[in-house]
Structures are given as C-alpha cells and as structure tokens.
Amino acid sequence: MLISKTIAADPHWRVVTATDSLVRAIPRQLEEALPSIGSSRDVTPSAWLTLHFWIDNRPKPRLGVFWRATAVNNREARNRILKSLLETGGTGFEYTGTKDA
C-alpha cells in the first residue's frame, strides 16, 4: 500500500501496523514521549495513540484519516495526556467524539 510505503520512508514516523485497508502510524518523537500504558497485544505499549489511514473501496472509494487512542491499562494517565494535548495550543488535536468516550 502506497500510504504504508510513504510513511515507512520517513525517518520521523513509524508504521505500527498495516493491512490492506488500515495503516496505523506514529511519529517517533511522540512514541518516545508517551508512557508505556498500551495494552494491545500486537502493538508496543508506547504506541497507543496512532494516526489511522483507513481505506474503504466498497462500493464507493473513501479514505478516513484520524487519530485514535487504543486500549490502555491506565485510563487516568491516558485521559490526562489526551486532555493536555487538546488544551495545549499548537498541537492540532481536536476531539469530535462523545463526552464519555
């Protein structure tokens, strides 16, 4: 997949997982700064906040690009970090989900 190859070629990013329809990536600097609280079996514990490139070509081609926090073993730490990213100016993070998610 072209998205995966493009990300892999950039030394500042790392492809976390890739399938035919989903590429999960993380900036290396962010991965180094995040605490190791992720609990997904197939992902390193510090890669719990990733940029997703989702491709759906049925019946009409679509591309979704969004940040997603995956399963963690310390929700309080995750929430504190996400709140900080949302409230700190210049990060570009914006939450558009439900309040209790």
Task: Give tens-digit pLDDT for 42-94.
Answer: 899 999 999 999 998 888 888 999 999 999 999 999 999 998 888 886 677 77
| pLDDT score at 1 | 74
Rg, C-alpha atoms of the chain: 14
CA angle (20, 48, 43) in 5-degree steps? 55
pTM of the model: 0.84
Fill in the DSSP letter of residue 47: -
Strand (E) or helix (H) holding 9: helix 2-9
